[in-house]
Amino acid sequence: MRRTLDFLLQHWLDIGELPARPRFSDHSLETFGSVLDACERIADEKFAPFNRVVDTEEPRIEGGKVVLPACAVEAARAYVDSGMLAAAQDHEMGGMQLPCTVEMAAQAFFSKAGIGLGGAGMLTAGNANLLRVHGTPMQKAVFAKQEFAGRWSGTMCLSEPQAGSSLSDITTRAEPDGEGHDADPLGPRYRLRGQKMWISNGDHELTENIVHLVLAKIPGPDGRLVPGTKGISLFIVPKKLVDTEARLTGERNDVALAGLNHKLGYRGIPNTLLNFGDGRFPVRADAGGGLDGRGAGAIGYRVGRPGEGLRCMFHMMNEARIAIGLGAAMIGYAGYEASLKYARERAQGRPVGPGGKDASQPPVRIVEHADVKRMLLAQKAYVEGGLALALYCARLVDEQHTGAPQAAREAVTLLEVLTPIAKSWPSQWCLEANSLAIQVHGGYGYTRDFPVEQYWRDNRLNMIHEGTHGIQALDLLGRKVVMDGGAGLALLTERMQSSLAAAARFPELQPHAQALAAAIEAVGDATRAAWASGEPDDALSNAMAYMQAFGHTVIAWVWLDLARVAVQQLQSGQGDADFLRGKLQAMRYFHAYELPLVAAWLGVVSGRDPVCREMRDEWF
C-alpha cells in the first residue's frame, strides 16, 4: 500500500508543493515520509497482530466498568504516543501542523491494521477539533488540549434509542443549573437528562477522563422542547468534573453506563448506551442542587449559542465522513492484500487450453485464473479508488485552509458535493471488496482461520454510522447538487472535464475519456430531470440510484486521472513499469466492468420512476 500512497500523494496530489505554504513551512516531503514510516511501523507492530483478538475478546462490563483486552490498551497508548491525535493541529495546541492530506494518509495505516483499534483516536481528535473551532478559549485550553494530548478521550453523543437518523426528535433536556449557571468559567452550566445510544467509546478505562459532546434541547419558557432541529444545543459533559486548570475535582458526573451493544463487527471499540442525569451518580447535591434537588442531572457546559448545536456538529461532519470513507477503503485494502497473498500461494485447477485441461500438469496458482484476477482487479479498483477519493478530499481540506482565496472557496464547494460520495462509495464498494476477498479464499475464507470474514463484518458498519447510506443519498440529491444554484455539481463537472482534456492527449486513454464524458453528461441530465417537476418526492424517491451513478462516475474520473499520471510516467520512463501498468489495468477494469452501470442506474432517476414511492404497506 505504501507505494500506492506515495504515488497518490506525490504524483497525483502533489503534496510536495505544500511545504511552500506558511502553515507547513517546517515540513518537507522527507518529514511527511517519516510520519508515514512511523505510523506504518506502529500499525504493523501494535495494531495488526491484535485485530483478531479485539474481535474475539469483545468489550464486556465487569463491576460497572468496561473491560478491554490488554492489547487494546497498548494500542491506544501507542496511538497517543504517535502524536497523531493532534497531527494537523497548531504547534501551540501541541500539534505538528501536518497537512490534512498527510494526516489522513498516516491514519490509513491504523485503519487498515485494525479499524476497531484505530477508530477511537479519530473520535477524540474530531471532538477536540470541534471544540477548537466552536469552544471558548477556556473550553479549548481545558478540554480540547487534554484530548489532543491523549490524556482525555472524547465521544460524540447524538443518537437516542428513538432518534437515529432523525435528530430533530431527540428528547435529552438541558436546563440551566441554578444560580450562577451563566458565570461558570467553563461555559454556561446546565443539567442534562436523557439517554444516548450508539456511543462509541462511551465508557472505558483507557484515559483519565472522557469528554462527551452531547446534543440536547433547552426547554422553552413553557417547559416544553422545541420541535425540530432548531431547538438543539451542544454541551460538553465530562465523565468526571474538572476545574479550570484541567484537574479532576474528584466529583463523578451523573453519566451512567446503561449497557454495551453487541455488534456484528468493529468490536475493538466499545459501543454504549449512556444514561445522562438519571440520578445514579448524584453530583453537587449541596444546597438542593440538581434536577431533583438531590444532585441528579449530568452537568454540562454549553458550546456555542443555544439552538446552534447541530450547526456546530455539522461543521465537523465533512471530515468525519471522509474519515469513515477512508476507514472503509482501508478495511477493503486489508482484504485485498490478504486475498492477493492467498491467490499467489494457493494452487488449484488448470488453464483451459485449446484441447481442454491437462490434468497431468501440476495445478497453477489461482492468481492465474481469469475470474480470480477479476475479483482481485475489482478489489484493487474499489479500494485504491476509495483511498484516492478520500485523499483527494483531504487535499481539498488543505486547500480550504491554506489555499489562495479563490482556490479555498472552490475547495469548500467541491467538498460539499463530494463528501456524501467519499463517505458512501467506499462503505458500499469496499464492503463488496471484502466479500470478494472471502470468495477468493473459497471455503477457507468462510472460516475464522483467515482474517477476511472479520473484515467483511467490520466494514458492514460503515453504511450505517455517521449518516446512513440513505441519508447520504438524500444529502447529495436533495441538497448538495442543488444548493447555490447547482454550483457544486457545476464546479465538479468543470474539474472532471479538465481531467478529460488532459487524458485525451494520450491515444490509449481517449476511448475512456469519451465514455466518462458521456457518464458525466448523463449525471447532469439526470439531475435536471429528477428535479424537473419541482416536487422533492419525485426526485428523492430515487436518490439512492442517483448516488450509485454519481459515485461510480466520480470514481471512474479518479481512475482516469490516475491512469493519465501512470501513462505519463510510463512514457517518460519514470517509476516501476509493473506498478504503473497495474494502475492502468485497474482503470480499464473499472471503465469496462463498472462504468456502464451508470446509465442503467440513472433510468429510474431521469424517469422519476414512482414504483418505490407508490408502493403501499399493505401490498408487502
Given the complex with a copy of itself, which of 114 and 231 has the nearer CB atom? Answer: 231
Dist CA 79 CA 106 (whole Å): 11
HSE, side-chain direction, 13 A CA sphere, residue 388: 28
Task: Let me know if 390 is exposed, middle or buried by CB neighbors in 10 A (0-12, 13-18, 19+).
Answer: buried
Nearer to a copy of itself among residue 104 and residue 461 (C-beta): 461
Q: Which is nearer to a copy of itself, 308 or 368 (CB)?
A: 368
Least CB distance to a copy of itself at residue 356 (A): 8
Please, which residue, 360 or 571, has the CB nearer to a copy of itself? 360
CB of 594 to a copy of itself, least distance (A): 9
Closer CB to a copy of itself, 365 or 409, in the complex: 365
Q: Tell the smallest beta-carbon distance from residue 147 to a copy of itself (Å).
A: 25
Instruction: Please state the closest distance from residue 313 (CB atom) to a copy of itself, in A.
Output: 17
Query: CB of 173: closest distance to a copy of itself in angstroms?
Result: 17
What does the alpha-carbon distance between residue 299 and residue 282 come to, in Å, rounded to a whole number? 10
| Residue (34 or 593) nearer to a copy of itself, CB | 593
Residue 163 is classified by DSSP as B
Considering beta carbons, is residue 250 or 619 the nearer one to a copy of itself? Answer: 619
40, 319, 410, 466: which one is catalytic? Answer: 466
Closest approach, Cβ 617 to a copy of itself, in A, equals: 5
CB of 585 to a copy of itself, least distance (A): 5
Q: Which is nearer to a copy of itself, 146 or 527 (CB)?
A: 527
The one-letter code for the residue type at 121 is G
Q: How many CB atoms lie within 10 A of CB 183?
A: 8
Q: How far apart are CA 341 and CA 328, in angstroms?
A: 20
How far, in Å, CA of 551 to CA of 309, rounded? Answer: 30
Determine phi and psi for 195, rounding to 5 degrees. -110, 135
Instruction: Provide the 3-class DSSP secondary structure of residue 176.
Output: strand
CB of residue 70 to a copy of itself, shortest distance in Å: 23
Cβ–Cβ under 8 Å, residues 559 and 4: no
> What gap in Å lies between CA 518 and CA 502, rounded to an integer?
16
Q: Which of 88, 103, 83, 105 shows the shortest CA–CA distance to 3? A: 105
Is the Cβ of residue 297 or residue 445 nearer to a copy of itself in the bound state?
445
Q: Rounded to 5 degrees, what are φ and ψ at 212?
A: -85, 130
160 is catalytic: no
Q: Could you give the CA distance from residue 16 to residue 230 in angstroms, rounded to a whole number?
A: 43
Closest CB to a copy of itself among residues 82, 553 = 553
Q: What residues contact 576, with CB distance under 8 A and at least 6 apart?
A: 3
C-alpha 557/C-alpha 463 separation (Å) is: 23
Q: What cell numbers appear for 105 in the block?
A: 494518509
Nearest approach, Cβ of 435 to a copy of itself (angstroms)? Answer: 7
Chain position carrying cell 449518516: 467
Q: Which residues pair with 157 in a beta bridge?
A: 214
Report the C-alpha gap between 87 and 82 in whole angstroms.
Answer: 9
DSSP 253: P
Find the shortest distance in angstroms from Cβ 600 to a copy of itself.
Answer: 4
Query: Residues with Cβ < 8 Å from 113, sequence gap 6 or more?
Result: 43, 44, 47, 48, 51, 334
Closest by CA to 432, choosing from 365, 377, 370, is 377
Quote the Cα angle for 422-426-430, to 5°: 170
Which ranges of 135-188 would DSSP assign to H, the alpha helix? 137-139, 145-148
CA distance 201 to 282: 23
Residue 164 backbone dihedrals phi, psi, to 5 degrees: -105, -85
Residue with Cβ nearer a copy of itself (65 or 374): 374
What single-letter DSSP state applies at residue 504? T
Angle ∠(423,424,425) on CA atoms, nearest 5: 105
Alpha-carbon distances, residue 605 vs 61, 546, 598, 619 (angstroms): 48, 6, 11, 23
The secondary structure element, H or E, covering residue 289 is none
Query: What minimum distance in Å lies between the beta carbon of 123 and a copy of itself?
Result: 16
Catalytically active residues are 466
